[in-house]
Each structure stands twice: as structure tokens, then as C-alpha cells.
Structure 1
């Protein structure tokens, strides 16, 4: 006679409550951080910007802009990662020109978000650098 297993089968249905959804989201965030170099890079840059902003004491409005663009870049990178996995799943490791275009456009989302972050960073930080130099 076989003993009953305490192992639950993988979830295939909808989440039933907030905490279940939160757990899956946290798992996805951890997975992305562990497996995606670009995500790690963006997190590192975001942390450096936060530390530098604290040192030079940016004002509240500048904090809002900086935190906003940092999160936009991270969201874009998460989106790009999800799209890449979906495309890879659908094409089953076969080359498809349309799949390449989808992945390229998804990567472009990250590029545009990062460009926005750089522009906002320059607008905020150049006056601080200017004051330090002169």
C-alpha cells in the first residue's frame, strides 16, 4: 500500500487570495534576480543612484522622479524577461523571424525606459555636479 504524499501538485489554476498571489510574485522576482544579469545590473545601478541621491540630499520632487524611473526600468526588464520566456516557449527553440522581432521590440522597451532614466538623472544631477565644481 502506498503512503499518501504531502507534496502538493503544481498550481495550474487562479490564485485564491492576496497572499498566494504575493508569494508567486515574490518567487518571480527572486527568479528574475537570480537568472537575469540585466536585471541584476539595473538593480545595482538603481541602488547606486539611491545612495548617491541620499548623499547629495536631493529634494522630495527629485526623489519621486528618481524612484519612479528606477521602477520603470525594473518593470520594463521584468516585462522583457516574461516576453522572452513566452516567445521561447512558443517557438520551442526554433528560429522564427517574427519571434525575433517580438523579442527585439520587448528589449527596446527596456532601452527606452533606461534612456528616460538617464535623461531624468542628468536633469537632476547636473546642477548638483555644477555646484560641486564651481
Structure 2
């Protein structure tokens, strides 16, 4: 591999971050549920500073926030893909969208329970 190939690979690698950032930005700008989760994450971060979370608690909070954002992004990708494939009502399309939304819902509920376990003893 000569240096030109290496530079091209490096350029493609960094460009993938630009595409990922664009995907996050577009989802944050257009998806109501992502916006709700972003607002909730901000509230949790502020509360974390107020109550003085331990480093382990911060790690758990950041994992939950990152997981929630990741699942919302995947849910959006699935919804857009299904919409691209068909604009007609189809039971399998509905099942795919509902399952993706269900995954987000499960993680949100578990995140709330873990958040309560972390925050309630501090109040």
C-alpha cells in the first residue's frame, strides 16, 4: 500500500465521521422523540451535577444516554428504510416499525428505573 492509498483510506475514515454527524444532526433536527430524549438527557445531566454523582454513577448515566440516542437513531433508520421500500400499508412494514419502536421503549423504561435507583437515594 503506497502513501496515496493510505491517505485516501484515512480521508475516507474521517469522512465517515462527517456522515455520522450529519445523520445525528438530521435526526436531532427532525425527529420529535429524539428531541424529547435529548431534553431528558440534559435534565439528567443537570440533576447529576446538582446531586453529585460518583464516577461509576456518571459512567452508568452516560451509557444509558448513549444507548438511548443509539436506539433512537436505529429506530429512525429502520423507519426511513421501511418508508423508502413501500408507501403502502403492509403488515410486515408495520411490524418492523413497531418492533424498532418497542426496542426504544424497553430501553427507555429500563433507563428510567436505573435512573430512579441512582437518584432517589440522593434526594
Would the TM-score normalized by the shorter structure come out above 0.5? yes
Runs of 4+ in 1 over 6 A off after TM superposition: none
Once the 2 structures are TM-superposed, how far is the Cα of residue 36 of structure 1 from its aligned partner? 0.3
In structure 2, which of residues 73, 78, 86 is the aligned counterpart of residue 78 of structure 1? 73
Q: How does 1:1-134 map to 2 (within 5 A)?
A: 17-91=12-86, 93-129=87-123
> How many residues of Structure 1 are paired with residues of Structure 2 in the alignment?
114
Structure 2 Cα separation of the partners of residues 58 and 83 of structure 1: 35
Cα RMSD, aligned residues only: 1.2
Kindly name which structure, 1 or 2, has the bigger radius of gyration based on alpha carbons: 1
Question: Higher helix proportion, which one?
Answer: 2
Conserved in 2, the CA contact under 8 Å of 1:66 and 1:121?
yes
TM-score computed with the length of structure 2 as normaliser:
0.89
Deviations 1:44-90 (A, max 9, x none): 10011001101110111111111111111111100000000000011
List alignment gaps of at least 5 residues for structure 1.
1-14, 130-134
